[in-house]
Amino acid sequence: MACCRGLNLDTEVREDVRRRLLSVKGHVEGVLRMLETDQVYCVDVLKQLKAVGGALGKVGDQVLQSHLKNHVVTAHERGDEDLIVSELMEILKYR
């Protein structure tokens, strides 16, 4: 159960995240097309996959920063510090 519902992203951050995810979508579609032919060099596929991973990492960083700024720093005021710490520990095990 999340402590404080809502994706609280600044307008600029939300648009940047959206733009990055659309770029990721394009990269993934490109990789899928690459897999349809045997003439594609493995290293070229790996480069595209690395680009996808990097873009997703940046998106994750932006959302995490927003979460820290808008939810974590105010946890004490709401009295849900334990829940926030538990959520962060869950997230960090995937990073």
Domain contains 4: no
| Helix (H), strand (E) counts: the chain | 4, 0
Q: Report pLDDT for 32.
A: 96
- The CATH code of the domain that includes 51 is 1.20.58.1000
Query: Tens-digit pLDDT profile for the chain (95 aa)?
Result: 455 567 778 889 999 999 999 999 999 999 999 999 999 999 999 999 999 999 999 999 999 898 888 888 888 888 888 988 898 898 888 76
**Is 1 among the domain residues?**
no
pLDDT at 4: 59
Total structural domains in the chain?
Answer: 1
Are 48 and 30 contacting, i.e. CB atoms less than 8 angstroms apart? Answer: yes
What pLDDT is stored for residue 46 in this prediction?
96
What is the C-alpha to C-alpha distance for residues 10 and 36, in angstroms, rounded to an integer?
Answer: 39
In a domain, 6, yes or no: no
* Residue 40 belongs to domain spanning: 12-92
How many CA within 13 A on the CB side of residue 26? 7
Predicted pLDDT at 92: 83
Report pLDDT for 74: 82
In a domain, 34, yes or no: yes
7 in a structural domain: no
Residue 40's pLDDT is what?
Answer: 95
5 found inside a domain: no
